[in-house]
Amino acid sequence: MNKGIAHLGALAVLLSACSQTQVRDDDSMLSQNLRSTPLEAVEPASDLVSFTSVQTIHIVDVTHPMIPYWAVDALPDTLDIIRAGYQLPDSSQRSIDLQLDWYRKHQAYLDRVFTRSSRYLHHIVSEIASRGMPMEIALLPIVESAYDPFAYSHGRAAGLWQFIPGTGRRFGLKQDWWYDGRRDIIDSTRGALDYLEALAKQFDNDWLLAIAAYNSGEGNVHRAIRRNRKAGKPIDFWSLSRLLPVETRAYVPILLAVSRLIADPEGNGVTIMRIRNEPYFSVVKTHGQLDLALAAGLAGVSVEEIYALNPGFNRWATDPAGPNRLLVPVSAAAAFESNLAALPARKQVQWKRYRIRNGDSLSVIARKFQTTQKLIREVNNLRGSTIRAGKYLMIPKASKSASSYTLSADSRLARTMSRSRGSKRTLYRVQPGDSLWTISRKYGVNTRSLAKWNGMAPRDTLAAGRELVIWGGKSIVLIGSGPPSGHVRRINYTVRKGDSLWKISSRFKVSVNQLKSWNSLSGKRVLRPGQRLVMYIDVTKQSGG
């Protein structure tokens, strides 16, 4: 490539504003021969909406003194801007050729990935250009997540840029019940580019080493450098490669292979879709918590589209603690902003006046209304967790049924767990002290597979009472398990006057310890009439009651 043209094209990138677009399916797993450790725990979103075009938003100042005014028209395709901004050194390494050969044979995969990317690519390119970073970095989410913002790997990495929890927090990515900044398009992109810039400084602006460190951690790269220096050997990526983790040895070649492919699609026998050099979304302030189904209605788009652009929100509404903004397609931005401004703030979420019942607790009420104890306390000015039957609470509630929020964390998990993996399905209720490893040993299944079936990573912790699905494995019934043979059933029991744990356990032929475990009851806790208990009973043993 002509260096002068490349330099001019890189400058032209600065004109690009912000854009993004996404869809999703199994492709975050990449190919089995792209990495020795593929993202096999990533689950498909299955029904993220498709879209027909990439639309516009606000454009960066075209009067930037370093950029010719005609540059925007000269490079109408976002991928042209990426090509023009290449900075990474290419190499004749065989490992790059092997990865490139895989991509050449998988046109359908490329179509899906670039269709996804078109919601997000313009924004990412704009952010990279504003920092003067190599444009190849815009292709890094292809390697990390196949441009799937809901990707979750067996290493607990999430989002387009695959941040693990600790690194996400290190770069200011908020993570709580309502929101995960690792999936947020704006926040995660900012965090990833901050991280990559910091790594480049550590490695004297050797971007291949910075990218390797992004994958494996800077400690691994620094150790490899020290070993080669001590041995009097070069410290470039290719010289260090054999000292790095196996996945990292493939990681950099994959990115360089994708870069080559984009540089010359026709010469590599593939077709890459055009992505207009225009922003896809606008950012609109919401001034407080907003129901996402309501937001979709105000914008005149689908709920799926709202989630696709705002994948950081885990639940049915935005996080009450912020960020108080929503990304919407630029074509819908004006209508959304106008409709939102006309909506009274108190109607941005619906409220229910809830009468506290016997047996209620804040945790029970929070689960029932898909919210948090903290928010209930704040809204109702409660200092602690004590509540009294007969009193009232104001509870924020979703405007539609849970099934309407198709890309919320709960809905995605439900689809993952219901996806058939074979003919034998067991439901298991987690007991205190359980881990994915201990459960996998009991049932004779692979820990990583068990995690994948349940939308988790192998090192994730388990909360007592959580229900897991197990495919295949041993035919056993453990305390708290669901219906492995179709005979065990979950029932909800309302405590009656005079009931005790012993009486209930005798009536339903379960143990007192089982009742305590299923319902997180302490040893001396007294049952109250009206309290609801969960039980898992073998219907073949019941004689009435």
Average pLDDT, the chain: 82
197 is catalytic: no
Which class is domain 350-398?
A: alpha beta
Predicted local confidence at residue 427, as pLDDT:
87
Q: Phi first, then psi: what are they for 528, rounded to 5°?
A: -120, 140
Q: Is 394's pLDDT higher than 50?
A: yes
Span 133-141, average pLDDT: 97
Q: Is 519's pLDDT higher than 80?
A: no
Please tell me which residue in 136, 144, 304, 305 is annotated as part of the active site.
Answer: 144
Between 364 and 73, whose confidence is greater?
364
Domain spanning 488-541: CATH superfamily: LysM domain (3.10.350.10)
Q: Is 498's pLDDT higher than 90?
A: no
Residues of the chain with CATH 1.10.530.10: 3-268
Q: Is 484's pLDDT higher than 70?
A: no
* Structural element, H or E, at residue 239: helix 237-240
Span 231-252, average pLDDT: 96
Between 85 and 530, whose confidence is greater?
85
Assign residue 509 a region: left if phi > 0, alpha if psi is -120 to 50, beta otherwise?
left
In this structure, CATH architecture of domain 3-268: Orthogonal Bundle (1.10)
Between 224 and 402, whose confidence is greater?
224
Predicted local confidence at residue 515, as pLDDT:
80
Between 443 and 513, whose confidence is greater?
443
Q: Is 28's pLDDT higher than 80?
A: no
Q: Is 536's pLDDT higher than 70?
A: yes
Span 249-272, average pLDDT: 96
Instruction: Give Cβ neighbours of residue 274 (< 8 Å, ≥ 6 apart).
Output: 77, 79
Residue 373, Cβ density class (10 Å: 0-12 exposed, 13-18 middle, ≥19 buried): middle
Using CA atoms, how far apart are residues 475 and 498, in angstroms rounded to an integer?
A: 37
Span 5-19, average pLDDT: 36
Between 44 and 459, whose confidence is greater?
459
Closest to 112 measured CA to CA, from 272, 334, 294, 300:
272
Q: What is the pLDDT of residues 145-187, one digit of tens each?
A: 999 999 998 889 999 999 999 999 999 999 999 999 999 999 9
Predicted local confidence at residue 195, as pLDDT:
98
Lowest pLDDT segment from 30-44, 305-319, 517-531: 30-44
Q: Is 100 helix (H, G, I), strand (E, B) or coil?
A: helix
Q: Is 191's pLDDT higher than 70?
A: yes
Residues of the chain with CATH 3.10.350.10: 350-398, 488-541
